[in-house]
Structure 1
């Protein structure tokens, strides 16, 4: 859409200058000739001119800090629809808080050897597999000289860094007891206490897998509509495994996934805003 607007503006400028180019040069004013010549040298701004691609360097590491500030302060710039979405998440979290004990009991009483073998294959997507997927994307991009893949993997990586830092801070403050150790979903320890039993909120696995899933959906969802379905499907199943294995309450999983999704969306939104700013600067030269 941005390219169409830019191209339209350039065509309008060319049409204006073209009026002088069509005049009889024997009658044209002397100062009109340079305008006609300049019009012939105008090159439309293309996507390649405005695209920002990352490599591992100082600029990339600075962008991590810039994106962190942008993400943390993003709620200050929310529109009405954003508050509605946040309200829906808060409301659903409240419902799950009231249902956490019942959901735990459902999974505990429906465990089986077969389902445990299935969840054992899915659960690593929220921990071991996710970093390897991002690293694999980066290596593939470098080896095949696919700059979009290389840069996209670095955007996924910094989304993962930011979301991990945020959920770690939340987990250290909200010391919620894990369902593995406590039957009550309302068992909390003082903030910053160091015991491992109170590290339930939010779910780190859910945050990690949703961060990577959202990044992949942002990168390839437009060209391949099936990608978001697969990515988000795996993320959702990973969250279910954390409840099945009695490692997290359902509300932990929801907030973990919401956090990963929000952070990654913010990183990619900021990226698009920077590309738009770059395009505007090129137009004003």
Structure 2
């Protein structure tokens, strides 16, 4: 059971790093690049790469062995849907009148760019690393596409609502972490696949925000969280 603690600590690290409150009610709605923001996705990516050994005693295979002992017949398809849940929440809140930081057109453009970057990265790595899944089904295990999708979507949800709802990072990244755990519980991915997928998902959506030019609509310099 101790082998699962690595992933648990990673999810806690995600929540703590992103769930930062602000004293002022005035915030700038457009995230800018800082080197500090690279620490989380790069840490996850490095952990994923470091735990991707293929030896018989490799850490990722020991995690699978424990999974097979604890829940050999476990299977669910809910992770196929949960990976998109943060996007449904983000657009659902906006539709319900809880306005996000970014207007619909710019937010959708950011989403498209982040998704393309994430999907392209996952596809290339899956193709050229040629890693066998733990269930022995196919050679496209590394990294986890479901996890990358979940964390990319969670990053968009956090960027749009974390200043209004300070608990949003816990909810968004907790949900994304659940997707990663389910991928391992379903025996479809190793822990290394999930860690790298999480890093790719976060970084892809962050890059989409950092590089967006906000071509549509009028760019507001600040918003008041008490009177949105």
Which TM-score tier does this pair reach, normalised by the shorter chain?
A: 0.5 to 0.7
Unaligned ranges ≥5, structure 2: 1-26, 221-228
5 Å matches for 1:229-268? 229-268=170-209
1:149, CA displacement in angstroms?
A: 5.0
Q: Deviations over 1:188-214 (max 9, x none)?
A: xxxxxxxx7111011000011110001
Residue matched to 2:113: 158
SS at match of 1:177: coil
2:62 pairs with 64, 80, 102, which one?
102
Alpha-carbon separation, structure 1, partners of 2:206 and 2:169:
13
Q: Deviations over 1:262-285 (max 9, x none)?
A: 1111111223899xxx89xxxxxx
Normalising by structure 1, report the TM-score.
0.53
Distance 1:227-1:91 versus aligned 2 partners, 3 A rule = closer
Residue matched to 1:177: 132
Is 1:160–1:211's contact at 8 Å kept on the other side of the alignment?
A: yes
Is 2:147–2:194's contact at 8 Å kept on the other side of the alignment?
A: yes
Residue matched to 2:82: 125
Alpha-carbon separation, structure 2, partners of 1:145 and 1:221:
12
User: Which structure shows the higher helix fraction?
Assistant: 1
Number of matched pairs: 185
Q: Deviations over 1:19-70 (max 9, x none)?
A: xxxxxxxxxxxxxxxxxxxxxxxxxxxx9xx989xxxxxxxxxxxxxxxxxx
Unaligned ranges ≥5, structure 1: 1-46, 53-73, 182-195, 280-285
SS at match of 2:138: helix
Is 2:87–2:157's contact at 8 Å kept on the other side of the alignment?
A: no
Normalising by structure 2, report the TM-score.
0.65
Larger Rg belongs to: 1
SS at match of 1:260: helix
Is 1:138–1:149's contact at 8 Å kept on the other side of the alignment?
A: no
Residue matched to 2:212: 271
Distance 1:108-1:95 versus aligned 2 partners, 3 A rule = same
Alpha-carbon separation, structure 2, partners of 1:87 and 1:112:
30
5 Å matches for 1:191-202? 197-202=138-143
Distance 1:163-1:91 versus aligned 2 partners, 3 A rule = closer
Alpha-carbon separation, structure 2, partners of 1:145 and 1:80:
29
1:260, CA displacement in angstroms?
A: 0.6
1:109, CA displacement in angstroms?
A: 1.5
1:256, CA displacement in angstroms?
A: 0.7
1:96, CA displacement in angstroms?
A: 5.7
Is 1:100–1:250's contact at 8 Å kept on the other side of the alignment?
A: yes
Is 1:135–1:153's contact at 8 Å kept on the other side of the alignment?
A: no
Is 2:86–2:154's contact at 8 Å kept on the other side of the alignment?
A: no
Distance 1:136-1:222 versus aligned 2 partners, 3 A rule = closer
* Larger RCO (CA under 8 A, 6+ residues apart): 2
